[in-house]
A = this chain, B = another copy of it.
Amino acid sequence: MRTANRRPGGRSAGVKPGGRAAPRHETTADRIKDYILGEGLQPGDLLPTEAELCEHLGVSRSNVREAVRQLTTLDIVEVRHGHGTFVGNMSLDALVESLVFRGVLVPGDDLRALREVIDLRLTLDLAMAERIVDAFRGTTNPELHALVKEMVAKATSGSPFPDEDRAFHTGLLARLDNSLVGQLVGAFWDVHTAVVPKLGVSVAVDLERTARAHGEMLEAAEAGDPERFRLAVTTHYEPIQRSLDERAK
């Protein structure tokens, strides 16, 4: 089922072909986006104050505030209290927040959304295996090895290592010519870490095995062996998937 009449890309004019009227704050948001594009502003650049935007766009403060709020949600703009409004970094935080809420909303199967997210991470890691090993073949990556070492150390002491885990996976995908994949996987990882505590479930995993699988992935990539890399990826996801499967039934 698809959302019938929605206009994801936005529109500069106030009406759409169907004849339906668009709320003013929607068009105001689009006009602010057009302003950013027209001025060629980049992430971090300063935007006009709300008052200036009101005058420039000919709308009220309430209107620009709601438009700015919408753009803030999408990380297209970023507001700092008492300082000003800036162009945002275009992160995928909106996707994260959306998926997190859906993950805790689904009533019947609490873990379905979480399983789907992890399944998608596994799928992408496997699908990118060739490209990753091609990018890492014959290279040395001290920063990634340091992350693995840190993860192993924390695993042996029984403490989790969420930050290193995320940095490792995004570090692997950062070498690709497709930056969207890395950002998506990072977003899915954020969904994972945000949903788990909200569900009140303790997903116990084999920390040491997970940590060592990271090292195996990195070595396989540097050795240029796609098959070994895929095997390490599968091993890496085994603990968390088994933990979820046990809880599901």
| Chain A interfacial positions (CB closer than 8 Å to B) | 1-3, 6, 8-10, 21, 23, 25, 33, 36-37, 40, 42, 62, 65-66, 69-70, 72-76, 81, 89-102, 104-105, 107, 113, 116-117, 119-120, 123-124, 126-128, 166-167, 170, 178-181, 184, 186, 190-191, 194-195, 198
Contacts and interface: CB of A to CB of B under 8 A. Distances in A.
A73 B76 contact: no
Contacts of A2: 166-167, 170, 186
Contacts of A117: 180
B8 A194 contact: yes
Nearest to A117: B180
Interface of A is mostly: helix
Contacts of A69: 25, 66, 69-70, 73
A93, A94, A120, A126 pick with most chain B CB within 10 angstroms: A94
A113 B180 contact: yes
Nearest to A188: B180
B70 A181 contact: no
A190 B8 CA distance: 7
B119 A178 contact: yes
10 contacts: A3-B91, A69-B73, A74-B98, A90-B98, A90-B101, A94-B94, A99-B180, A120-B178, A120-B180, A120-B184
A97 B9 contact: yes
